[in-house]
Amino acid sequence: MDTKKFYYLYFKVRDEDKDTILKEAGLSEDEFAALEKELAEEVRLLKAERSNLGPIGEEFVRYTRYLYEPAPDSAKGVTRPDAVFPYCGEIIQLPAVGVITKPDLALAQAIEQRRSLRAYAEQSLSRDELSWLLWATQWVRDFRSTEKVEVAFRNVPSAGARHPFETYLLINRVEGIKPGIYYYHPVKHGLVLFKEGSEWAETVCHGAFDQEMVKHSALTFIWVAHPQRTVWRYSQRGYRYLYIDAGHVGQNLHLAAEAIGAGACMIGAYYDEGMNEILELDGKSAFVIYMASLGKKQLGED
């Protein structure tokens, strides 16, 4: 779904008038007329769905209490999910985590000086630095696989060690790596090209509601949740854990960025349909859960 369609739907279901929609969605009269036809049914369905919705946040908290939890799939003998998405392709190997020199900024200083950073220096990141950031956030340090259960341990905590995330990177400026979108293989500690080309920066930026920092970042992390990994063990309560888990990844990224003279900004404002489409996800069995843009600090910043 392109941004224009998204904004058309967004304002339409809120019963905004035509002039507002034209302006906010950046539509011409002809485009508006075409969308009126094309999306009439979708608008009707969305409105009907929305009118039946209760306070879903409150309901989510209520019905994911243990008292309401059905037996999880793991207790019912449902086949275990893979702990790592089996995405294939030629691996661009990153420097091994045992080989790179780990930056030694004191933890207290990293915590103290961390800020969300939305403007970055032109400088590229080195491959070592990228390796470090991935090591801190999603690298798999221990992987155990049996027929019954598959577990990965990483440098962030995760409920039940289910680790429900995969990492995609929009790379704009990393030495020796062509711009594009990459999948990070957390066991092989390498990248697999997913979509090549610098133009993806613009597309991902649109997906993040045109937050310019995405375009100007050295790279942007896009974390994808595979809920079944956690739901298999915790039923619907597992959905709570997805979002808690994501926070740990974000904070490790923030602190690891500080250690290399970089800064990050977490991104929760993106439009799901657009981001899921870019990564070819169905939005249910896998969906974008969190993003973060990152780059070197400009001169004069801590």
Ligand X SMILES: Cc1cc2nc3c(=O)[nH]c(=O)nc-3n(C[C@H](O)[C@H](O)[C@H](O)COP(=O)(O)O)c2cc1C
Of 116, 198, 285, 298, the one binding ligand X (CB under 6 A) is 116
Whether the Cβ atoms of residue 291 and residue 208 lie closer than 8 Å to each other: yes
The order of strands in the sheet holding 180-185 is 91-93, 190-196, 180-185, 165-171, 219-225, 287-296, 262-267
Q: Is 211 in the site for ligand X (CB under 6 A)?
A: yes
In terms of DSSP H, where are the helices of 208-237? 213-216, 227-234
Length reported for the chain: 302
Stretch that binds ligand X, among 140-148, 172-180, 225-233, 264-272 (CB under 6 A): 264-272
Q: Is 115 in the site for ligand X (CB under 6 A)?
A: yes
Least separation in angstroms between residue 295's CB and ligand X is: 14
Q: Is 252 in the site for ligand X (CB under 6 A)?
A: no
Q: Which residue, 12 or 206, is less far from ligand X as judged by CB? A: 206
Q: Is 293 in the site for ligand X (CB under 6 A)?
A: no
Q: Is 83 in the site for ligand X (CB under 6 A)?
A: no
- Tell me, by CB under 6 A, how many residues bind ligand X: 9
Of 266, 281, 286, 289, the one binding ligand X (CB under 6 A) is 266
d(CA 169, CA 177): 11
Which strand (E) or helix (H) includes residue 290?
A: strand 287-296
Of 83, 265, 279, 289, the one binding ligand X (CB under 6 A) is 265
Stretch that binds ligand X, among 100-108, 115-123, 220-228, 294-302 (CB under 6 A): 115-123
Of 33, 75, 107, 269, the one binding ligand X (CB under 6 A) is 269
Q: Is 294 in the site for ligand X (CB under 6 A)?
A: no
Stretch that binds ligand X, among 122-130, 137-145, 193-201, 259-267 (CB under 6 A): 259-267
Render the burial of 190-220: b for 16+ CB within 10 Å, e for the rest: bbbbbbeeeebbebbbbbbeebebbbbbbbb
- Dig out the tokens for 235 from the structure: 């039923």
For residue 261, give every residue at least 6 positions away whose Cβ sits within 8 Å of its Cβ, in sequence order, or none: 296, 297
Q: Which residue, 127 or 206, is less far from ligand X as judged by CB? A: 206
CA pseudo-torsion sign 249, 190, 233, 287: positive
Q: Is 267 in the site for ligand X (CB under 6 A)?
A: yes
Q: Which residue, 128 or 258, is less far from ligand X as judged by CB? A: 258
Residue nearest to ligand X (CB): 268
Q: Which residue, 116 or 198, is less far from ligand X as judged by CB? A: 116
With vertex at residue 37, the alpha carbon angle to CA 31 and CA 38, rounded to the nearest 5 degrees, is 85
Q: Is 268 in the site for ligand X (CB under 6 A)?
A: yes
Q: Is 281 in the site for ligand X (CB under 6 A)?
A: no
Q: Is 222 in the site for ligand X (CB under 6 A)?
A: no
Helix (H, G, I), strand (E, B) or coil at 289: strand
> How far out from the chain centre does Cα 57 lie?
21
Whether the Cβ atoms of residue 265 and residue 300 lie closer than 8 Å to each other: no
Residue numbers 135-154 binding ligand X by CB under 6 A: none
Residues in contact with ligand X by CB under 6 A are 115-116, 118, 211, 265-269
